[in-house]
Amino acid sequence: MEEISVEVKKAIINQELSMWLNTRYQFEVRHRINKKIGSGAEILKNIEDELTKCEKMIDALEDELNKLENE
């Protein structure tokens, strides 16, 4: 079975990273808007939980990218 090149792996990780950065921005906007319109604490907590997930995914993807840079 043919191995995927490091450059292709980096491109795939960068695509995933871009998606999570965009998702984080969406949830940041959603949080701001929901605060402005007075949404309840449960809604804000759910959004904050998603923001935390985004941050964890971004950190993990950046770690993977750094590992590839050091190969």
pLDDT value at residue 63: 98
Band of the pLDDT at 70, cuts 50, 70, 90?
A: confident
| CB atoms closer than 10 angstroms to residue 6 | 11
pLDDT value at residue 2: 83
Residue with tokens 């969406």: 26
Q: What is the mean pLDDT of residues 1-12?
A: 92
pLDDT value at residue 10: 96
Span 20-60, pLDDT tens digits: 999 999 999 999 999 999 999 999 999 999 999 999 999 99
The ranges assigned to domains in the chain are 6-65
Is the pLDDT at 71 greater than 90? The verdict is: no
